[in-house]
Chain A
């Protein structure tokens, strides 16, 4: 038994290495990109991802009767494929919803379901949209759970409704819109393949293709540097911050339209989210 424990102590060291691997591999891989270091880190995790904690919490939130109406999202929330259907739902979002007469992405649709369907108070949900440690976000957990249910499903946005096509065109216009103190648009960083900002590789998101597919399909992702699952709206909002423009409003038209543009460019890509990102 004692020998066994000694063996285990040795193996445990390996576990410790995994727990702190990112810092170490980043230092060790100076001449390569962040992406290479991250690939090593992902390999050590194997199929595991701390996002599993968010998925588990999201599942509880999805099934629990909540709000003034005391109903669950699992019974009442239609993400486009019928009430409570989550398998594959994310692969067809954003889409037009007749009940709100709007094109909605996952986050804005979830908000509709929680506020209109469950009778929950909107302000605290929106205020808490991005979690931080012990202050957890219901939207991030629900997003992780729902997106996980589309794992392996190919992105497919038929854009049959005129509003959906309009959202795509508007998203494209926003993508190329240069403004602010630094003349930046999304396209400034994301219209070529094979470029880096510092050591971070930049995907070309301006056209349909492998870069767009490989990027879109791993969001939301567990951000190792933050220890949080972050959604697409968070990612887009942080790009705009670095673009030096004002703050993107959660669930706003610009957020939805830009998501539509990115999602359509990722058409055919198989969902592999929540992913693991720097």
Chain B
């Protein structure tokens, strides 16, 4: 009987041990990449060596890739990111869709080869369909054609879109989409202009 209980206890512990070992191995994976990359890159232009240091979201999304972080960790990180979203001080979400179109087209910004004095682009078309006239669009993200027309422009709809544009990692933790507000890629005005591209009834996105 005693032997039987011991066996039971041991077998109950085995998955725990395995999880711990797996975690250690995966921890090593980020540490291993960082160590090798630190010794293999040199700062260039605006891309300093600090860019190789991960934040918590990046670390979690790398550690478990191509899978997802465990639920509890994911929930904490989602909340962290969502709480960091800054809403416009004047309460106005929408700028000029024409300027938004230019932001969506522009692919430069933050690369070692880019002029840091120039504003960064959003490069939305790299991954999304927007204006149907622009046929050179990517498919990593969903089509945003008729985004506003399909959803209307009520306060909750605008607020959600603003949040996702600012910090997608507050909504889909390991999304491929950059945190345009949270990582200071786009200015508040640029974000408003892209919002107008999505929601303005005159925007080609909504025709």
Contact B110 A247 (CB under 8 A): no
The stretch of A10-18, A129-137, A157-165, A168-176 that contacts the partner chain: A168-176
Nearest-neighbour CB distance to chain B for A142, whole angstroms, equals: 22
Contact A254 B37 (CB under 8 A): yes
Partner of B42, one of A179, A189, A249, A253: A249
Contact A246 B39 (CB under 8 A): no
- Measured between alpha carbons, how far is A185 from B57 in the docked complex, in Å? 13
Contact A248 B41 (CB under 8 A): yes
Given contacts A176-B29, A245-B47, contact A182 B127 (CB under 8 A): no
Contact A196 B34 (CB under 8 A): no
Kindly list chain B residues whose C-beta atoms are within 8 Å of the C-beta of A240: 41
The stretch of B5-13, B130-138, B155-163, B193-201 that contacts the partner chain: B130-138
Chain B 86-141 interface residues, beta-carbon cutoff 8 Å to A: 110-113, 125-127, 135-140
Contact B52 A179 (CB under 8 A): yes
Kindly list chain B residues whose C-beta atoms are within 8 Å of the C-beta of A1: none
Kindly list chain B residues whose C-beta atoms are within 8 Å of the C-beta of A45: none
Contact B52 A182 (CB under 8 A): no
Interface residues in B, total, Cβ within 8 A: 46
Kindly list chain A residues whose C-beta atoms are within 8 Å of the C-beta of B183: 181-183
Contact B169 A183 (CB under 8 A): yes
- Measured between alpha carbons, how far is A180 from B183 in the docked complex, in Å? 9
Contact A195 B139 (CB under 8 A): yes
Kindly list chain A residues whose C-beta atoms are within 8 Å of the C-beta of B32: 169-170, 173
Chain B 173-192 interface residues, beta-carbon cutoff 8 Å to A: 176, 178-179, 183-185
Q: Which of A178, A188, A191 has the most CB of B within 10 A?
A: A178
Nearest-neighbour CB distance to chain A for B143, whole angstroms, equals: 12
Nearest-neighbour CB distance to chain B for A70, whole angstroms, equals: 33
Chain B 32-81 interface residues, beta-carbon cutoff 8 Å to A: 32-34, 36-37, 39-44, 47-49, 51-54, 57-58, 61-62, 65-66
Nearest-neighbour CB distance to chain B for A109, whole angstroms, equals: 17
Partner of A198, one of B53, B58, B125, B184: B125
Nearest-neighbour CB distance to chain B for A179, whole angstroms, equals: 5
A244 at the interface (CB under 8 A from B): yes
Nearest-neighbour CB distance to chain A for B75, whole angstroms, equals: 19
A255 at the interface (CB under 8 A from B): yes
Contact A247 B62 (CB under 8 A): no
Kindly list chain A residues whose C-beta atoms are within 8 Å of the C-beta of B113: 241
Nearest-neighbour CB distance to chain B for A18, whole angstroms, equals: 25
Partner of B178, one of A172, A181, A202, A255: A181
- Measured between alpha carbons, how far is A101 from B135 in the docked complex, in Å? 51
Of the A-B pairs whose beta carbons lie under 8 Å apart in the complex, a sample of 22, sorted by A's number, is A31-B135, A170-B33, A176-B29, A177-B30, A179-B51, A180-B51, A183-B61, A188-B140, A192-B140, A194-B139, A195-B140, A199-B136, A202-B140, A240-B41, A246-B43, A246-B49, A247-B41, A247-B43, A249-B41, A253-B40, A254-B37, A254-B40
Which residues on B are within 8 Å of A, measured CB to CB? 29-30, 32-34, 36-37, 39-44, 47-49, 51-54, 57-58, 61-62, 65-66, 110-113, 125-127, 135-140, 169, 176, 178-179, 183-185
* 10 nearest A-B pairs in the assembled complex, by CB-CB distance: A254-B40, A252-B40, A173-B33, A247-B44, A177-B33, A182-B178, A246-B41, A176-B65, A180-B51, A178-B58
